[in-house]
Chain A
Amino acid sequence: EAQVTQNPRYLITVTGKKLTVTCSQNMNHEYMSWYRQDPGLGLRQIYYSMNVEVTDKGDVPEGYKVSRKEKRNFPLILESPSPNQTSLYFCASSLRVNTGELFFGEGSRLTVL
């Protein structure tokens, strides 16, 4: 089954404690991206990757890091989480972003205390 898998789905952590949200896709997609969803703001892009070892900032990259060492994986790293990073995070993949559909994971709800 074609899918994008994120882990963890839910996480409560404390300020400053480094964490990683993993994302894996099994569709051999070149493009992968991370979004955060906040009330009234919709989905805002954090980082994206056009291919292995190619990453770039989206609209809200501050406080986040990513890496793309393999085609299928695109982890999101919060080196020192802060409460304003409390949000719902989505990973997505696509053959190419402007051909149409992005395939989204089920989301990871992160709370930073």
Chain B
Amino acid sequence: DQQVKQNSPSLSVQEGRISILNCDYTNSMFDYFLWYKKYPAEGPTFLISISSIKDKNEDGRFTVFLNKSAKHLSLHIVPSQPGDSAVYFCAASNNAGNMLTFGGGTRLMVKP
């Protein structure tokens, strides 16, 4: 049973518009959440994170929102750029700090 789920396998957005990627989790013991970005033939790279004591974290064009009661987090990219086209993985860390559980990924395509 997947504890971290990304229900949209793909998303297509026009350049300049907002991209919203969603992630749901089931384990209430997760206390740290991260987003990774992956280009073809490369390893994932860290994008942004949020602690469970916060509900929002912003870094430039990227903002992550956390709704603990709904066990839901989302990544907003504004404005979207063609270079943002990649697969995005959300991940959650347990409070022991020894394991990171990933979602299945969402492929984002930003059209010029």
Please list the residues of chain A having a beta carbon within 8 angstroms of any beta carbon in chain B: 4, 31, 33, 35, 40-45, 48, 50, 56, 58-59, 90, 92, 96-98, 100-107
Q: Do residues A100 and B44 form an inter-chain contact, with CB atoms below 8 A? A: no
Interface residue tally for chain B (C-beta within 8 Å): 28
13 A-B residue contacts at CB 8 Å?
A: A40-B9, A42-B89, A42-B105, A43-B91, A48-B99, A92-B43, A97-B100, A98-B93, A100-B32, A101-B34, A102-B36, A104-B45, A107-B41
Extra contacts, 19 of them, besides A42-B102, A100-B49 (Cβ < 8 A), are A31-B98, A40-B9, A42-B103, A42-B104, A42-B105, A43-B44, A43-B89, A43-B102, A45-B99, A50-B98, A97-B98, A97-B100, A98-B32, A98-B97, A102-B36, A102-B44, A104-B44, A106-B43, A107-B41
Chain B residues with Cβ below 8 Å from A58 are 99
Q: Do residues B98 and A100 form an inter-chain contact, with CB atoms below 8 A? A: no
Chain A residues with Cβ below 8 Å from B84 are none
The 7 closest A-B pairs by CB, nearest first: A104-B43, A101-B46, A98-B97, A43-B102, A42-B104, A98-B93, A42-B102
A70–B49 Cα distance when bound, in Å, is 29
